[in-house]
Amino acid sequence: MIDIFGAQYRQQIQLNQKVQKSVLSGICSLIVLGASFGYFLYVMNEWWSSKILPKSTNIMKVENYSQIQYNEDSLFEFCYWKYSDMQIDPFRLQNNILTPIGIYFINGIPQKPFSLLNEIPIMSPYNTSLLSVDNLTLIQNSGFDNSLNYTTELMIVITSCNSTLLNSGYQCASDQEIQEFFKKSVNYISFWLNLKQYDPYSQKFQVVKKHYYLTFDSEISHQGQLILTQTQATIDHGILFSKYESQSYIYNAQLITSATSKQFWSTLFKQNTYLNLFIRLDPMSTDTQIVYPKLGEILAQVGSIMSMLMTIQYILRYYNEYMLEVDFVDKLLGFYYQDYLELKQSKDKLDLKLCKELIEQAKKKLVYTNIIYELSRIQLFLLHHFGRNQLFQAHQYAICAKEEIKSGKYCLAFDIATIPRVDRNREQTDQHFEKDDFSLLCKGKTNIIKNNEDLVRIQLDVVSASQKSLYN
């Protein structure tokens, strides 16, 4: 029968002791178990608090089509860099000097411009208006697949005040104010690109602001291309089984700038421009796979460290085996030699030499095959001197725990006085050994006796006859 939970019987070395133990191995066991359990708690705490970094794989790929939308958050923000209190904000609504314009290019065709000025302005760190684009949509269709959406790019234009784009109640500044503005200050646009990065510790996406400074003046027009690199992140943060979460975001950008004349875009916008910035998606993107360690991996890590700590087990087990062997040898020699302990504790060289010889002989005597051999000699000795019938009757010997049932038919007990004596001078009929004598005293012989009642009756008659001969 298959039973993987079967228990093996272990003979006791001493009373209530089946395993050789020592103080040294006990102390080391406490140290190893304590260190292993402490390390287990440490690793589990690190894993539960997400301090064990996940496995991350980045694959660069080319996508013929991709898009990204920003409805609630802003991909970018910009403002006028005001480094002195004497400067004025050119993006103010009243007496406006510069008008930031956004214009989409769909499949290379410009769409209707729209103003980026807010009636309820948000203040920047420079105490100027902070501008952005709401509901931003960017698409790249480098494969020119007509079944998909066309390529959509955004152009941010800083131009002189455009009254047609101002809301009612607001007006442009005078030409003199515009000229004084360019003469009195160094003009910068502070541009923030809100990138996203995944934080493996908090398991959340964090916004990282990448800062650019864009210059403009009254003589030339600066233009640039902001190429955005997109990534598709797939995060597996399951404990036992996979649990995926996917999100697309912009994680990096490349800015390319150049300079042209102010009249370069005048044909399109019907007025001079000071700064033109194209924002578009890059066909090159990355596919990021982030896999957090599962519970099985953590337990395997703990197990590997524990196995290293348990290498000391071999040394301690060897130590306990050595102590067990020494203890057995001492007990064995103590059974045979009364002065063994004195001989062992003696410092005389001859005594030590004799003790060493005795120990070597005892080790040979404790060999399992030697024990069986000595038992075989005892059996053959008894067989030779007492005969086969006497040894065969030994299977019927038993001890009755209660005296009143000694003579009952269910307990075949024999007192020492009732065991028949053997005349050593009498010639025995069993002087030779047979093949079956090998298993004469084996446990299996009891089954033969139970299944053969006639044989039992004959044996009892022989015993009764022997008892009568003792009294006659």
pLDDT tens, 261-319?
A: 777 777 777 777 888 999 999 999 888 888 888 888 888 877 777 777 677 777 888 88
| Confidence band for 437, pLDDT divided at 50, 70 and 90 | low
The answer on pLDDT for 461 being more than 60 is no
Dig out the tokens for 76 from the structure. Answer: 């970018």
Choice between 264 and 256, residue whose per-residue pLDDT is larger: 256
Contacting residues for 357 by C-beta, under 8 A, at least 6 apart: none
Predicted confidence at residue 294, as pLDDT, reads 85
Output the pTM of the full model.
0.59
User: For the ranges 138-152, 184-198, 299-313, which has the lowest average pLDDT?
Assistant: 299-313
Q: What is the pLDDT of residues 18-52, one digit of tens each?
A: 677 788 888 888 888 888 888 888 888 888 887 78
The answer to whether residue 430 scores a pLDDT higher than 70 is no
Asked if pLDDT for residue 465 goes beyond 70, the answer is: no
Residue 138: its pLDDT value, please? 93
User: d(Cα 260, Cα 263) in Å, to the nearest integer?
Assistant: 8
Q: Which of 16-25, 114-123, 205-214, 243-252 has the lowest mean pLDDT?
A: 16-25
Greater confidence (19 vs 257) lies with 257
Judging by beta carbons within 10 Å of its beta carbon (0-12, 13-18, 19+), is residue 338 exposed, middle or buried? exposed
Distance CA 212, CA 99 (A): 20
Query: What are the domain boundaries of the chain?
Result: 57-291, 311-365, 368-471
Q: Which range is least confidently modeled, 3-12, 292-301, 317-326, 399-408?
A: 399-408
* % of residues, the chain, pLDDT over 90: 15
> Per-residue confidence at 55, pLDDT binned at 50, 70, 90?
confident
Judge whether 276 and 223 are in contact, CB under 8 Å.
Answer: yes
pLDDT at 279: 93
Average pLDDT over residues 443-455: 53
3-class SS letters over the chain? CCCCCCCCCCCCCECCECCCCCHHHHHHHHHHHHHHHHHHHHHHHHHHCCCCCCEEEEEEEECCEEEEEECCCCCEEEEECCCCCCCCCCCCCCCECEEEEEEEEECCEECCCEECCCCCCEECCCCCEEEECCCEEEEEECCCCCCCCCCEEEEEEEEECCHHHCCCCCCECCHHHHHHHHHHCCCEEEEEEEEEEEECCCCEEEEEEEEEEEECCCCEEEEEEEEEEEEEEEEECCCCCCCEEEEEEEEEEEEEEEEEEHHHHHHHHCCCEEEEEEEEEEEEEEEEEEECCCHHHHHHHHHHHHHHHCCHHHHHHHHHHHHHHHHHHHHHHHHHCCCHHHHHHCCCHHHHHHHHHHHHHHHHHCCHHHHHHHHHHHHHHHHHHHCHHHHHHHHHCCCCCCHHHCCCCCCCCCCHHHCCCCCCCCCCCCCCCCHHHHHCCCCCHHHHHHCCHHHHHHHHHHHHHHHHHHHC
Q: How confident is the model at residue 459 (pLDDT cuts 50, 70, 90)?
A: low
Mean of pLDDT values over 342-367: 89
Q: Between residues 284 and 456, which one has the greater pLDDT?
A: 284
Q: Which of 458 and 165 is assigned the larger pLDDT?
A: 165
Report the b/e string of 109-140 with b at 16+ CB within 10 A. Answer: eeeebebbbeeebeebebebbbbbbeebebbb
* pLDDT of res. 120: 82
pLDDT confidence of residue 190: 92
Q: Provide the sign of the torsion angle of the four alpha carbons 92, 94, 97, 100, taken in this order.
A: positive
Q: Average pLDDT of the chain?
A: 80
pLDDT of residue 24: 83
CB 307 within 8 A of CB 61: no
Average pLDDT over residues 221-227: 90
In Å, how far from its chain's centre is CA 395?
A: 61
- pLDDT, average across residues 95-118: 90
